[in-house]
Structure 1
Amino acid sequence: MALKTFVPSDFEILRLVGKQSLLKIVEWEYYQKKNPTEPAVTVEPGSLACRLYEAILYPNTREEREVLLKEYHKEALEIGYNEKSVFQVLEEEYGVDTSREDFPLSKLLGSFEAPDTFETEDFLVRWRQALPYLDPPKAGHLFLVFDWEGLSTVSSYALRKNNSSWFAARFFSQGRYQLRCTWVKKIMLLSLECLEFLHSYRIVHLSLGPQSLLLNTTREDQVGALRVKLRDFGFSKRLSSLDDDSIRRACDAGASTPTAISNYYYAQDIMLLGYVFLMLIFCSFSDNIMYQKMGYDGLKRLVEDLFQWDFDRLRTYLLQDDSAQHIVHFLDQGNGSGWVFVRDMLVLKRQPAFYNQNQLMTTQLKRYSFLSSEDL
């Protein structure tokens, strides 16, 4: 299905549903690192933002459908067009049917640019009457039109879960604990499948976080119906279009062939996803507010700076905290296979020996015994 070019009159905006602060991968050195020649990869918030709206496409017609409008401001236009290009490449160059039911990415229907009429007094008056609490968009803003697939993400699941009284006395019933284990592993497996799909077309995400993974349900008793989709491709890159600086960065890390350079960037996505999984585990299996609020930067400091990728020491540390017992128990499953799974995701980029593999790393991770379960 070819992407469509819409016009503003095709839509009725219902409400603002969010604003996104866009994160960008940067390379920098922690001032306290022992080896100043080894930069740490992290993310920093950018000054760019986009607004998200719930809207109706073709209102009051037989074709009426709910959509998500993603408005990119002028300062973020390059990011918006980059996101759009990911879907164009999949459709136009690879012939991917992005409208199919099992498409593992968010579904982009098309786009439009805000016309000059958005600057007229008539438009401003009508906008303020309909949405008085929102500043009107300006001419030139880019609107991407996505199919409405809800607002639940891995990030919002963790928040919703922690508002419940599930951790009364810090103990699960065995049945509820096993249900949560199955649920978390299913999210992990489906997330890897989404990333595997993207990587199979030689595209890397580069800004993957818990908000990048859409969930169709947050009910743990519906694990069989759970679906995960990957979204937010503003910083994505095609490996065939890497600039000289990106290639040089990979070479400096030990990647000396085209395959190795590709694997270097695949490993970067996998590392980011590994921290998402670690955050999901900490939020799902502890009621300690310290663990619940430990985002990417906090987990990165814990793993890389405090314990320097020594997961045996990290396990010993967590065992001393009563509120972290279920975290350890979950990762101890399969004779410690959970620790192996998480460790391999987080250290992969530091292992140049992996760079020359021909098989996608995401495919290998899906086969880890930790994720195998009859319930999945």
Structure 2
Amino acid sequence: RIRTRRRARLRSKASLITNPNDFKVGRLIGSYGFINITSYSGFQSGIGVEPGFVSDDIGRLRIQDVGEGSVKIRLYEGRITQGPLKGTRVIFKVYPGQRAGGVEADLMAVNELNGHLFLQSNSKDVCQNLLILLGGFETATGEQWLAFRDDGKYSSADYAKVTSEKVLKNRSLGEQQFWNPFQQEQIIRRRRFFVIKLLRGAISGLAYMHDNDRLHQSLGPASVVLNTMMEREAAYLVPRLRDLAFSVDIRQPHIEDGPGTLSAELWRRASAAGAFTPMEKRAFGIADDMQVIGQGFCFIIKLFLSPPCRYEAGLLFAYLAVVPFCEAGVMDSISLQRLLESTFQLDLEAARDYFLSDDRLLEAVKFLDLGDGAGWELLQAMLNPDFRRRPTAEAILNHRFMTGSVL
């Protein structure tokens, strides 16, 4: 039994379940950690770190100032044991509280709670592409337990990892793998459909957030939950966004009130980009959700669940357009971001020529080449250095590459 000190912030909505006795906690799924990088060279935005990434590798990336964050987040399976939702499976996201994680842990927990409460406040307009918060409570040790409906334990990063490993296995088997000459073509067709539907779901969730004056600010492959990773089941795929700990309220009064602790870096970058009025800052924030800009950042490492990287929509698009179509080890999040942002300075025509020189990346090139280069066209727009010229989430959803008309 978990002893609690109930606080008003976990009782702010009557619809939330706040009694810990109404839950049963299951097995540990995994954990989060994060690293603060305050200065570095060679990159223009966030760098993902894979499990097993050692200090020598970090040295090669020429990162100068790396500090380990104090917030360690755990994930557990569970279910609701009482009330009208009895039997509903949940995923617990556990913040350590001030005692173990400092003030930042509480800020992240409260921000995530408030973000979901705000986005779920309209019962007639609930977005299917956002994870649903069902309740939460605080323990006697100050831990914040948030209970989300279990709509999937896998992320898009897991999907990309598993799929690239399959590509590697199939390549090693060669012609023995496909006795039917049309089988490989069918697999690629399914994969393209799955990836586009995955991207549409993630961007739809982001569009809903923007329409309701909320930024995500930590959108990456590991922040998109999938109810299936089976490409044959693409018709039933429903991607959902999670990880709203760094989300930002962009309603005008909140922008005018000045930056909060978690949004200070965003508004600093907005000012540096020439966005000073509330409307300009709002536009910058929305554009920033389409691509990470700036040098100071905080990104999350999934220690047990997936190979992580902090991306926004443009880099998420690039990741999912490339990694699932090539074999494991050929391209990872670090290499891809380095190629696009540092080596090629967002010159995608040059990046395409580079990909064409490697047979193992040909399927990714063919995917982005669909519709006379529609994928490259959209990706270039999403990664535009000028935030004023990046497309909105709604515009991305209406692009011919995302509508599926190119398939």
**TM-score range, shorter-chain basis?**
0.7 to 0.9
TM-score normalised to structure 2 length: 0.74
Secondary structure, counterpart of 1:4 in structure 2: coil
Matched with 1:251 is 271
Instruction: Classify 1:62/1:173 alpha carbon distance in 2 versus 1 (closer, same or farther; 3 Å).
Output: closer
Where in structure 2 are there 5+ consecutive unaligned residues?
1-12, 48-65, 292-311
- Identity among equivalent pairs (%): 28
Cα deviations by residue, 1:197-242 (Å, 9 ceiling, x for unpaired): 0111111111111111011111111221111110110111101324
Amino acid at match of 2:404: S
Which runs of 5 or more structure 1 residues have no equivalent in the other structure?
A: 34-39, 116-138
Partner of 1:354: 389
Please name the residue that 1:299 is paired with.
336
Aligned partner of 1:152 among 130, 151, 154: 154
Aligned to 1:131: none
Task: Tell me by how many angstroms 1:258 deviates.
Answer: 2.8
- Are the counterparts in 1 of residues 164 and 328 from structure 2 also a CA contact under 8 Å? no
CA contact (8 A) 1:210 1:276 kept: yes
Higher relative contact order (CA 8 A, sep 6+): 2
Over 3 Å counting, the alpha-carbon distance change for 1:65 and 1:254 in structure 2 is same
Determine the C-alpha separation between the residues in 1 that align with 2:271 and 2:389.
Answer: 14
Q: Distance in 2 between matches of 1:110 and 1:149?
A: 15
Work out the CA distance in 2 between the residues paired with 1:328 and 1:61.
50
Within-5 A mapping of 1:1-376: 2-22=14-34, 28=39, 30=41, 32=42, 40-42=44-46, 46-58=69-81, 63-74=86-97, 75=101, 76-92=105-121, 95-97=122-124, 103-115=128-140, 139-164=141-166, 165-167=169-171, 168-169=173-174, 173-240=184-251, 241-242=254-255, 243-244=258-259, 245=264, 246-271=266-291, 272-291=312-331, 294-295=332-333, 297-347=334-384, 350-354=385-389, 361-373=392-404
* 3-state secondary structure, aligned to 2:154: coil
Aligned partners of 1:363 and 1:194: how far apart in 2? Answer: 10
Q: What amino acid is aligned across from residue 66 of structure 1 in structure 2?
A: R
Correspondence for 1:128: none
Could you tell me which residue of structure 2 aligns to residue 118 of structure 1? Answer: none
2-structure distance, mates of 1:67, 1:375: 38
Over 3 Å counting, the alpha-carbon distance change for 1:53 and 1:326 in structure 2 is same
1:112, distance to aligned residue in structure 2 (A): 0.6
1:276-322 CA-to-partner distances (Å, cap 9, x unmatched) read 2212222211115131xx11x43222111111111111111111111
Instruction: State whether residues 225 and 241 of structure 2, in contact with CA within 8 Å, keep that contact through their aligned partners in structure 1.
Output: yes
> How high is the TM-score relative to the length of structure 1?
0.80
In the alignment, the residues of structure 2 paired with residue 67 and residue 352 of structure 1 have an alpha-carbon distance, to the nearest angstrom, of: 38
CA contact (8 A) 2:128 2:238 kept: no
Letter in 2 for 1:369: R
The amino acid that maps onto 1:86 is G
Judged with a 3 Å threshold, the aligned counterparts in structure 2 of structure 1 residues 370 and 103 are, in CA distance, closer, same or farther, namely closer
What CA deviation, in whole Å up to 9, does each residue of 1:261-285 have, x standing for no partner?
1121112211112212212222211
Q: 1:60 to 1:269 in 2, by over 3 A?
A: closer
CA RMSD across the alignment: 2.7
Separation in structure 1 between the aligned mates of residue 201 and residue 377 of structure 2, nearest angstrom:
19
Check the 8 A contact 1:213/1:230 in 2, yes or no: yes
Normalized per residue, the structure richer in helix is: 1
Post-superposition, which runs of at least 4 consecutive aligned residues in structure 1 deviate over 4 A?
26-29, 59-62
User: Would the aligned equivalents of 2:270 and 2:284 in 1 still touch at CA under 8 Å?
Assistant: yes
